[in-house]
Amino acid sequence: MAFTAETLAADDRFLAAILHCADQMLAIYRESPRIASIFAAQQRWLMAHAGFALHYGHPDHEKSGLYSGRFIDFAVKNDIASRNTAAAFMQEMLAYRFLRPAPGPDKRTRYLEPTEIAEQHFTRWLVTHMMILDSLDGGERADKIAADPTATMAALQPRIAKAIIGSQAVPSPGPTFNLFNWANSGGLVMDYLISRLPEFPRTAERVAIGPLSLRELREQFMISNTHLKRLLTQAAAMESVGWTEPSRKGEFWLSHRFILEYWNYQAAKFAIVDAAAEAVLGPAVLIEPQARRVV
């Protein structure tokens, strides 16, 4: 029986999984900032999932195949992006060589496919999530993917994409999360802030994460000073982040509400990934659900 979002969100020990996931996303960014930029904002992340799902075979479509017109229509229909934004994203992926022309059933249509580097990074995203799920219950999801990554990626990803795009809890878990995750590089800044959490007492209104260097954030995530300050100022106005002393001095803190939004988002996302894994790979653990552990 797959984990549910409610089960994960209710367990205090899920914090370790959240912190590990944030660390892994930051590691991907440091290794390849260009490919990781796809994960740095919610809209780009959803468009990437949509593109892969159409390529592999979206569950709601009879035939697989990715081409610009189909992708743009899908993005608009599912309220992911405007036609112009979706078209620009496709051109950017081609320019960065994350997409390339591919043969297709209709010679009048220019079909596209992900390049090896794009598939490798998306597979790494998937395996990272499976490894974290395995750490919660002792399952072997990641090993099963490693045995045949191409086939399992093609089977799993469209299911995950459909559920994520159709979910309310994942694309829009709360106002502060949305503020960060819909801004350019905002998702990376948020992952960095969350990764520094020492703990998350449920009764605490705020959790301090130590001093925050805006210069370090700018240099690490290639974000402008104006953009970063605007992002943090807006979050501070929402009473979601702040400093313990005036003029951005002292320790930086995150509000209980902000942390909980991120927590619930991760719980919803991991539940979707686990449900897809169970459907494709079979049950992770052959024991009663109440015996499953979270460590």
Report how far residue 104's alpha carbon sits from residue 111's, in angstroms, rounded to the nearest whole number. Answer: 6
Confidence of residue 202 (pLDDT cuts 50, 70, 90): confident
**Are 210 and 134 members of one domain?**
no
pLDDT at residue number 74: 97
Domain for residue 264, yes or no? no
Is 277 part of a structural domain of the chain? no
Say if residue 184 is in the same domain as residue 64. no
17 touches 266 (CB < 8 A)? yes
CB 19 within 8 A of CB 197: yes
Same domain, 146 and 206: no
Residues 184 and 50 in one domain: no
Specify the CATH number for the domain of residue 109: 1.10.10
Q: What percent of the chain has pLDDT over 70?
A: 97
- Judgement on whether residues 218 and 166 belong to the same structural domain of the protein: no
Flag whether 284 is in a domain: no
pLDDT at site 53: 97
Same domain for 208 and 247:
yes
Of 120, 144, 170, the domain-final residue = 170
Domain enclosing residue 118, as ranges: 5-170
Helix (H, G, I), strand (E, B) or coil at 52: helix
Indicate whether 89 pLDDT > 80: yes
Is 295 a residue whose pLDDT tops 60? Answer: no
**149, 170, 191 - which closes a domain:** 170
The confidence score (pLDDT) of residue 287 equals 62
**Which whole number is the average pLDDT over 240-250?**
93
Regarding whether 192 and 81 lie in a shared domain, the answer is no
Q: CA 113, CA 118: separation in Å to the nearest integer?
A: 10
Inside any domain, residue 273:
no
Q: What is the mean pLDDT of residues 188-201?
A: 91
Q: What is the mean pLDDT of the chain?
A: 90
The verdict on 49 and 87 lying in the same domain is: yes
Identify the weakest region by mean pLDDT among 169-178, 228-237, 273-282: 169-178
User: pLDDT of 270-294, one tens digit each?
Assistant: 999 999 999 999 998 776 544 444 4
Rounded to the nearest 5 degrees, what angle is found at the Cα of 226, between the Cα atoms of 221 and 227? 50
Residue 262: its H or E element: helix 256-281
Written as one string, the DSSP assignment of 140-201 is: -HHHHHHHSHHHHHHHHHHHHHHHHHH-STTT-S-HHHHHHHTSTTHHHHHHHHHHT-----
Highest mean pLDDT out of 59-63, 103-107, 157-161, 291-295: 157-161
Residue 22 has pLDDT above 90, yes or no: no
Q: Tell me the two tokens of residue 25.
A: 């996303």
pTM of the entire predicted model: 0.90
Domain shared by 11 and 138, yes or no: yes
Within a domain: 32: yes
